[in-house]
Structure 1
Amino acid sequence: MNIVDFIEHDALTPGSFEGDTWEPWKAILSGAFGLPMDDERLALFKELSGDREAPTERVRELFVIAGRRSAKSNTAAAVAVYLATVGAEIDGLLDKLKPGERGVVQLVAVDRDQAKVLLGYIHGMFDASPSLNAMVTKRNAESIDLDNRVSIQVATNSFKSVRGRTAIAVLMDECAFFKDEHSASPDIELYRALVPALATTGGLLIGISSPYAKKGLLHQKWRKHYGQNSDILVIQGATTQFNPTIDRRVIDDAIEEDPEGAKSEWLGQFRDDISGFIQREVVERAMRTDPLEYGHVKGVKYFGFADPAGGGKDEFTMAIGHVEDETTVIDVVRGQRGTPAQIVAEYAELFKAYGVRKIVSDRFAGTWPADEFKKHGIECEQSASPKSQLYADALSRFNSGQVELPPDDKLVTQLCNLERRTSRGGRDSIDHPAGQHDDRANAVCGLLDVARGRRYVPISEWM
């Protein structure tokens, strides 16, 4: 039984698809698995695949870029069930497992809530089919074990958690939105970790997502393979192409309110108003091998910057640096969460250990930092520039090789995650993506601005 017939007869549950949303997916899956198509289905496949030729055998990778309400997660779940049952046998993937080894169909989601949604769809499909339900030997909150030595497992996007497993298939749900505080490119790192897991079986890798910025794994695959005849199939379509029953007024209102956001969410297009700010290679080139912190050196003039936080999820960060020729050396970067007054006391002692008596702080911190640092003998002046401007001014310093960073992985990640956004009026701003942080990046770029000596503390007063 091929995947289209299987999903129609065994995996579809009431309400699985709205209106005619199953038709585009039949064309996509027929192409991905090299199934014959009639003229109507082939025309739909070509429309969604950039007019490439239909594959004659199963592809190695499938990436689907689709707008909202396109039944992406439901389809991913149905495909997972097929690949774990009938598909694993048809492709001979089970024969490639070692005696006693279990193969894994790995579903990777943005977060735990989305992972639970995927597993809920899968549970529903097994519950609705007596033949499928009879294969289940064990269920828990994260996996379903089957009697054919295959497990379906859901996980969040951590490249560490997927290593060491033999995968017969991998599905990445909403992969354009993978994020990790400790990684600047979690989608790419996850992909690199998953490919070896599929090497033994030659299983299928699938990424299904709405698009976002023109960066990351999904955009790379689209740029290289969309419309190209290869064993990597890339599909792209608007919500209306996947779900013609959607109320067009919803999309029109979204376009009028936020054209770029609607372009991504409903039209299936990558956003033009969001781009990466700084290339990872540039940041890594600026990073020294060691040590993490330089100690105080007598006769060197140091300066400092602080980015206070109010005790929430943000870190209260600070940085100390000095200038050597044309290079600003970042000697110390620290960040911590806790009671702000206690952190100020600790940082004040550290500043004084480097001979720093005057510092600059983030301009949105208000007057509290100046008052608190003053209690400990540190004069604190608020930055004259907003955070976005500090980032913009720092870029040329990085690109010209005039920065030396400590080997701080969190700092590198925050710098690489920064995004440049262009407003409808054409004005640029630079900030961290939603749900992420930039506290250490802000402290470093603020310090680079202080090092230029343009606005704040004359060099003669740094000591």
Structure 2
Amino acid sequence: MNIIEAIRDEKVFRPFLEDVEGGLGSWRNWMVALRASMGLPITAESSKQLIRQCTGRDPDLLPENGFSTSLFLTGRRSGKSRVAAVTAAYQAVLSGREKRLSKGEQGLVVVCSVSKRQGSIIKGYTRSIFKTPLLAQEVVEETREGFTLRNGVRIEILAGDFRTVRGFTLLAAIVDEAAFFGTDEESKVKSDTELIRAIKPALATTGGPLLLTTSPYARKGFCWETHKKHWGNDKGTTLVWNAASRVMNPTLPQSVIDEAMQDDLAAAKSEFGAEFREDVGIWLPRAVIEGLVVAGRRELAPVLRSDMRYFAFADLSGGRSDDSALAIAHREDRKVVVDYLGRWRPPSNPYDVIRQMSKVLKEYGIRVITGDNYAAEFCARAFEACGIGYLKCPKPKSQLYLELLPRMCSGEVELLDDDHLVNQLAGLERRTRSGGKDSIDHPHGGHDDLANVIAGVADLAGAKVLTLGGFDLLQDTPDASFDWSFA
């Protein structure tokens, strides 16, 4: 039984996919896409026309045995996560690929999702699939990660992390929202490229398929490079299927798309039109950032002497959802050396966080700290109660990032060995706004608290110093009205 027959069979996948009237009409284009991916016969002229539209290829030149790797770049609400769940179930139960395993060897079908939330959606779909009478008897055990089947195969949903599978063989791998790996704080995978590099060797002995489903995003990484290389290429070894949301899901109301287009045209063209964003690019390559990390250095102890001056920058939060962060650094010639990096995870009490920060600041001999504009009056009063002065930074976060960029490119920063910091810095995105002005920020749903304090403290420590009447004054003092009695 091939996957199309299984989708149409009322005892297998049809109950999961059919609409309220019992039909499968809205899934027609997905079935054409799966036929192209798996090398199943395609005879209808309308199906061939769809393939030309979505792949840029001649349907008569598609390989008879299908593709080992398929990338489906489709818009939001197109049904791609449900297709991912159906594909995982088919490969685990009906493909017969487990027969290629050696005696005593256990096969896995893995579904990798970018976050725990997305992983729970996939698992919920998979659980629903296995409620049909024919498939329910195949489930031996359900665990937090997935399902063990009667044929010995396990389906595992891996959220935010592709864990080590040494000792196991993959029968198939499905990657959901592949373009967004590395953009989510929860994800331990640095990028879609790293993830695919980890998966492919585990598929080698079974010849299992690799299926990626995602909405397009920034023009970087595996998804973008694969699209450039294989879309419209009749000799391409990877199937790239690129289609807008309503092409794959005609039941999606056009009004939803129109409203999104009015709110944010660039985002909507990516999310519903399945176009890679032209206005989003990387801020700085990960390799450059990692090259500034001093391996094994977690913190530098304070050195209290007259010629040592420390600078501090804080990013405070209300303690309910975002982190609070503190960075301390000093300057050696032209280089900014980060000495301390603190992170307070929510939930937390802002007063307790500020008391703990103040204790650290005093250990480094710091009596004045600079921070962002979050609840500036509250922060000033809370730090003042701890004997620390608080200055509001006059520069927006995006400007701090833009000014940090040349300093990092020239190697004038030494970073502590902190994976969260590296991930946040590498995840920053440059967006070109109307008028050509760039802005830098974290991706939607991401965090940049640690990156923000590094940018802030580098700006302070790297500022030019003027000597006036025996006192060192930083150029561009943040607040001329500040009560310097704390200093």
Q: TM-score, normalised by structure 1?
A: 0.89
Offset of residue 12 of structure 1? 1.8
Offset of residue 394 of structure 1? 0.7
Relative distance call for 1:312 and 1:55 in structure 2 (3 A) is same
CA contact (8 A) 1:164 1:197 kept: no
Moved more, 395-404 or 213-222: 213-222
Map residues 104-119 of structure 1 onto 2, 5 A cutoff.
104-119=108-123
Who is 2:125 aligned against? 121
**Is 1:47 aligned to residue 47 of structure 2?**
no
**Is 1:83 aligned to residue 101 of structure 2?**
no
Aligned equivalent of 2:236, options 218, 230, 254: 230
Aligned equivalent of 2:317, options 296, 309, 314: 309
Offset of residue 296 of structure 1? 2.8
Aligned equivalent of 2:104, options 78, 100, 103: 100
**Is 1:33 aligned to residue 20 of structure 2?**
no
* 1:175-230 Cα shifts (integer Å, max 9, x gaps): 23342446472534433332233233221111111222223432232233322323
Aligned equivalent of 2:406, options 386, 389, 396: 396
Q: Which amino acid aligns with 2:151?
A: N
Who is 1:73 aligned against? 81
CA distance in 2: counterparts of 1:371 and 1:159, whole angstroms: 45
Q: Which amino acid aligns with 2:438?
A: D
CA distance in 1: counterparts of 2:467 and 2:443, whole angstroms: 32
Moved more, 36-45 or 107-116: 107-116
CA distance in 2: counterparts of 1:290 and 1:155, whole angstroms: 29
Who is 1:3 aligned against? 3
**Is 1:260 aligned to residue 262 of structure 2?**
no
Who is 2:279 aligned against? 273
CA contact (8 A) 1:24 1:45 kept: no
For the residue of structure 2 that corresponds to 1:322, the secondary structure is: strand
Moved more, 168-177 or 339-348: 339-348
Q: Which amino acid aligns with 2:111?
A: L
* 1:207-256 Cα shifts (integer Å, max 9, x gaps): 11122222343223223332232332111011232234443343233223
Offset of residue 284 of structure 1? 0.8
For the residue of structure 2 that corresponds to 1:236, the secondary structure is: strand
CA distance in 2: counterparts of 1:456 and 1:314, whole angstroms: 37
Moved more, 400-409 or 97-106: 97-106
CA contact (8 A) 2:425 2:448 kept: yes
CA distance in 2: counterparts of 1:23 and 1:448, whole angstroms: 55
For the residue of structure 2 that corresponds to 1:360, the secondary structure is: strand
Moved more, 207-216 or 276-285: 207-216
* 1:314-359 Cα shifts (integer Å, max 9, x gaps): 3322112122222111122112243333333333333233333332
Moved more, 59-68 or 252-261: 252-261
Aligned equivalent of 2:172, options 163, 169, 172: 169
For the residue of structure 2 that corresponds to 1:192, the secondary structure is: helix
Relative distance call for 1:58 and 1:75 in structure 2 (3 A) is same
Moved more, 184-193 or 36-45: 184-193
Aligned equivalent of 1:410, options 407, 420, 433: 420
CA distance in 2: counterparts of 1:71 and 1:283, whole angstroms: 37
Number of corresponding residues: 458
**Is 1:138 aligned to residue 141 of structure 2?**
yes
**Is 1:156 aligned to residue 159 of structure 2?**
yes
Moved more, 377-386 or 13-22: 13-22
CA contact (8 A) 1:309 1:315 kept: yes
Aligned equivalent of 2:254, options 216, 241, 248: 248
Q: Which amino acid aligns with 1:282?
A: V
For the residue of structure 2 that corresponds to 1:319, the secondary structure is: strand
Q: Which amino acid aligns with 2:363?
A: A
For the residue of structure 2 that corresponds to 1:347, the secondary structure is: helix
CA distance in 2: counterparts of 1:122 and 1:371, whole angstroms: 53
Who is 1:22 aligned against? 27
* 1:79-122 Cα shifts (integer Å, max 9, x gaps): 222211221x2xxx323323233211112234444434333433
Alignment root-mean-square deviation, CA? 2.8
Return 5+ residue gaps in structure 2 as ranges: 475-486
Offset of residue 164 of structure 1? 5.0
CA distance in 1: counterparts of 2:127 and 2:356, whole angstroms: 52
**Is 1:419 aligned to residue 424 of structure 2?**
no
**Is 1:300 aligned to residue 308 of structure 2?**
yes
Relative distance call for 1:33 and 1:78 in structure 2 (3 A) is same
Q: Which amino acid aligns with 2:281?
A: S
Aligned equivalent of 1:318, options 312, 322, 326: 326
For the residue of structure 1 that corresponds to 2:15, the secondary structure is: coil
Percent identity reads 37
CA contact (8 A) 1:19 1:245 kept: no
Q: TM-score, normalised by structure 2?
A: 0.85
Relative distance call for 1:116 and 1:356 in structure 2 (3 A) is closer
Offset of residue 282 of structure 1? 1.4
Who is 1:356 aligned against? 366
